[in-house]
Amino acid sequence: MDFALDVVRFIHYAAALQLFGVCVFQSLMAPAELRRHLHASSRALAVPSAWLLLLSAISWLALMAGTMGEGWADAVDPAVMLLMLHATAFGNVWIGQLLIAFLLVLVLSSRRGGKWLWPSLLASLALGSLGLIGHATIGVGVMGIVNRTSQVLHLLASGFWIGSLVPLLFCLRAMHNSEHAAAAQAALQRFSGLGHFAVAIVIATGLANGWLLLRDTGIDLTSLYQELLLTKVSIVGIMIVLAIVNRYVFMPAIANGGPGLNQLRLGTIAEIVLSGGVIGLVSILGALSPS
């Protein structure tokens, strides 16, 4: 059951990050003409992500009920799941998570779903609220508030960075079309500018989260939690180096038919692959004790 829970957490985090990224890219970074051009591709990414978010939210609740109860029998018992929702801190957050996921499915699946503002707001709530469960519950008073705030900001900044990588590939593809090249270049510049702030927030909140969780434990590399955390930090470090190369080496090489466009595409794909490893580690770390 623990392995199943890790898998479900991975799917849920990946879906939440992807939804936030694609919705924000469409609503904030893509100019109007590019937004219309990318609408079909972005919707084809967002709708399955919304369904995965909803189904994984239900599965996560069921597996939590089984973990806290007596195994698989309780995992499929509606009475136990209802008890989880009403009698635990996790359940209090998860009522909102289920409702938001359901609304995202409705809004994005609607044939009138041409606007991206409401999905962006809902996706930000879905992703941000994940910062209120698990290790975010550590600490009381001011330290508890600081911990939760840092976790939420870390998730939203990560969602902007990681979740925008696939839409960025759509944008790079549009640059091959002379009709949309200028708008795609503008979106790329916007993403690049805001990406600096997102990465800075990821680093700052990541350091804060690590200190808040380990301040009483200290450094102990024999701890599985700390070993996996160090691995996660290492992968994020590689992603940051890749992002810098993408921005300051590959982007300038796009002009005048240079090789930068293909290089930037390959660099973005590499970041996507590495981000999958980060999400996988986060899914496992969330079930481990920092001590």
**Residue whose C-alpha is closest to residue 162's, from 44, 53, 24, 9:** 24
pLDDT category, 7, cuts 50, 70, 90?
Answer: very high
Residue 120 has pLDDT above 60, yes or no: yes
Conformation bin of residue 256: beta by default, left when phi > 0, alpha when psi is -120 to 50:
left
Instruction: Tell me which range, 75-89, 156-170, 181-195, is most confidently predicted by mean pLDDT.
Output: 156-170
How crowded is residue 145: how many other Cβ atoms within 10 Å of its Cβ?
11
8-state DSSP, 27: I
Q: Which domains does the chain carry? A: 2-285 (1.20.1630)
> Counting beta carbons within 10 angstroms of the beta carbon of residue 218, is it exposed (0 to 12), middle (13 to 18) or buried (19 or more)?
exposed
How crowded is residue 259: how many other Cβ atoms within 10 Å of its Cβ?
10
Residue 106 has pLDDT above 60, yes or no: yes
In the block, residue with structure tokens 């893509």: 30
> Counting beta carbons within 10 angstroms of the beta carbon of residue 235, is it exposed (0 to 12), middle (13 to 18) or buried (19 or more)?
middle
Query: What pLDDT, on the 0 to 100 scale, is given for residue 211?
Result: 87
Q: Could you read off the pLDDT of 44-56 as tens digits, one per residue?
A: 999 999 999 999 9
In the block, residue with structure tokens 């009522």: 95
pLDDT category, 241, cuts 50, 70, 90?
Answer: very high
Taking residues 100-119, what's their average pLDDT? Answer: 86
Residue 113 has pLDDT above 60, yes or no: no
Decide which of 38 and 73 is more confident. 38
Share of the chain above pLDDT 90, in %: 69
Decide which of 76 and 185 is more confident. 185
Query: What pLDDT, on the 0 to 100 scale, is given for residue 246?
Result: 93
Q: Could you read off the pLDDT of 33-42 as tens digits, one per residue?
A: 999 999 999 9
Q: Could you read off the pLDDT of 247-269 as tens digits, one per residue?
A: 999 998 887 667 889 999 999 99
Taking residues 209-216, what's their average pLDDT? Answer: 83
pLDDT category, 135, cuts 50, 70, 90?
Answer: confident
pLDDT category, 22, cuts 50, 70, 90?
Answer: very high
Return the structure tokens found at 225. Answer: 């939690």
Return the structure tokens found at 26. Answer: 């469409």
What is the spatial distance between Cα 236 and Cα 217, in angstroms, rounded to a whole number? 23
pLDDT category, 72, cuts 50, 70, 90?
Answer: confident
